[in-house]
Amino acid sequence: MTTLVTGGAGFVGSHLCERLLAGNHEVISLDCYDDFYDPATKRDNLAQCREHARFQEVDGDIRDGSILAALPDVETVVHLAARAGVRPSIQNPVLYNDVNVGGTLSLLEFARERGLRRFIFTSSSSVYGNNKVVPFSENHSVDHPISPYAASKKAGELLCHTYHHLHGIGMLCLRLFTVYGPRQRPDLGHPQVRPPHAVR
């Protein structure tokens, strides 16, 4: 099976690529190496993956239809790529909508055009907003996001539902909470790094 992992050079994406390769999958990582944090760090994340003949690395943007059209055949899309972070989304909501909503729509169209039947979308716990009911449940209403980032992830979930309904694509939406571990993003509590948008 060949799996396309968008955001494959990121923290979660690079670990997923390694696990898929360990399971004898063919893996394509698609990442644009944006400047949210040092692109060199993300390139280093894929060092082990590059040792596998079954790994292909594509430097490109999920919004670029020509990049998507040039990809080889895949069976599954795992869509991790996104502009991340609640606070910076408040400062730049247009970019977050463009990447997170427009990019997701581009990938769903890619899946439709290729006749794919498996699409995994990474949403966020941010969609729960100011929900006071704990523990959170996927049955809770998430109709009141409180940041552009959260709204973009909720929009992505709705697009996935629409493409499942219209085109029969099997969908799985994962609402990730704060993820931590080796190679985690520097804005997620790394003791040596203060992100540029941190509260001072």
Each residue's pLDDT tens digit in the chain (200 positions)? 899 999 999 999 999 999 999 999 999 999 999 888 788 989 999 999 999 999 999 999 999 999 999 999 999 999 999 998 899 999 999 999 999 999 999 999 999 999 999 999 999 888 888 777 777 778 877 888 889 999 999 999 999 999 999 999 999 999 888 887 787 777 665 444 444 444 33
pTM of the entire predicted model:
0.87
- Cβ–Cβ < 8 Å for 147, 126: yes
9 found inside a domain: yes
195 found inside a domain: no
Contacts of 172 (CB under 8 A, 6+ apart): 119, 120, 121
Helix (H) or strand (E) holding 120: strand 118-124
41 found inside a domain: yes
Could you give the residue numbers annotated as active site? Answer: 149
188 found inside a domain: no
Residue 26 structure tokens: 């063919």
Measured CA to CA, the distance from residue 180 to residue 11 in angstroms comes to 9
192 found inside a domain: no
- CATH number at 101 reads 3.40.50.720
Measured CA to CA, the distance from residue 19 to residue 16 in angstroms comes to 5
Number of domains composing the chain = 1
111 found inside a domain: yes
194 found inside a domain: no
Residue with tokens 């059209």: 69
198 found inside a domain: no
Range of the domain at 55: 2-176
Measured CA to CA, the distance from residue 145 to residue 62 in angstroms comes to 24
pLDDT of 195 reads: 44
pLDDT of 158 reads: 97
